[in-house]
Amino acid sequence: MRGDCADCFGLCCVALPFTASADFAADKPAGTPCGHLREDSRCGIHDRLRGSGYTGCTVYCFGAGQKVSQVTFGGRDWRRDPAAAREMFAAFPVVRQLHELLRHLTEVLRLAPARALRPEVREVLAETERMTLLAPAELAALDVAAHRARVGALLLRAGELARADVPGRKRDHRGADLMGAKLRGADLRGALLRGAYLIAADLRGADLRQADLLGADLRDTRLHGADLTGALFLTEPQLTAAHGDAATKLPAGLPRPSHWPDTLTPPPAPSPQPRRGRPRDSGRPLRGRPHRP
């Protein structure tokens, strides 16, 4: 579930709305191409997105873009096939959400403490994959919220099993407002931070081993020197939205964001706190609200 922009037609730059905020420099309605999208479906400011005020464009679609472009629509470009554009733009946010669920379910299969759930997880994983292959009209009619809720309950059970052997008190900060919180050096091993607002929070040197970070909002979170070894349901988009350095320990398989320095450096000053609204679309990383996992 990794994005491959070479096999996509810039769907995230067209299908999704932008809201002027700390994530996007300007408003853009859904279905309208971003002014920086080139004719070859490449971004004209890709190498300077952050400096241009488009940090929200540095996240990823979990491979949904190429699935819709190359599988659902068989390689048809929305520019050359305007009749398919509306359906393509409607399908992309749905498939993006499903691909995010696939990513989390696949992670559960690797969690040894949750091995008892593997048969159920494989069944739900196969069902979710089948959903991604539905025709455009069927995708539009899909009750994604209901499926997210079902998967979310399963992920919660898996997370509880994975965190059960963490010693000491496991704090419950589910959905907590921790914007700008001073948590430097905090012991958050095995903490439940699902859907927590950690925007611009100071987590330098914090111990987040095996913490459940499903849908936690890490925009401008300072993770310099933090230990995220074994953190649960952490994704590339979340890390890309945060700040870290060479001392930040990440879960196996998650690459260090390219904008993080390779050396130990003083943490940057936090950016102005963005709106709490979703930076892109209803398919953003899971936030832990009642209608979502």
* Token couple for 259: 């904008």
Q: Are 219 and 199 in contact (CB under 8 A)?
A: yes
Structure confidence by residue, pLDDT tens digits, 180-221: 999 999 999 999 999 999 999 999 999 999 999 999 999 999
Is 168-293 assigned to CATH 2.160.20.80? Answer: yes
Contacts 24+ apart (CB under 8 A), 216-223: 217/241, 217/287, 218/242, 219/22, 219/23, 219/55, 219/274, 219/279, 220/22, 220/270, 220/271, 220/273, 220/274, 222/267, 222/268, 222/270, 223/248
* Token couple for 238: 């979340």
Give which of 37, 24, 45 is closest to 65, Cα–Cα: 37
Beta-bridged to residue 37, according to DSSP, are 43
Q: Are 225 and 250 in contact (CB under 8 A)?
A: no
Residue 146: its H or E element: helix 144-163
The predicted model gives 231-237 an average pLDDT of: 94
Q: Are 249 and 230 in contact (CB under 8 A)?
A: no
Structure confidence by residue, pLDDT tens digits, 12-47: 888 888 887 777 878 888 888 888 888 887 888 777
The pLDDT of residue 262: 86
Rounded Cα distance between 37 and 57, Å, is 12
The pLDDT of residue 274: 52
Integer angstrom CA distances of residue 189 from 23, 136, 170, 216: 29, 43, 7, 15
Rounded Cα distance between 187 and 174, Å, is 16
pLDDT at residue 270 is higher than 80: no
The pLDDT of residue 273: 58
Structure confidence by residue, pLDDT tens digits, 134-161: 999 999 999 999 999 999 999 999 999 9
The pLDDT of residue 199: 95
Rounded Cα distance between 196 and 206, Å, is 16
Domain ranges of the chain: 5-163, 168-293
pLDDT at residue 283 is higher than 80: no
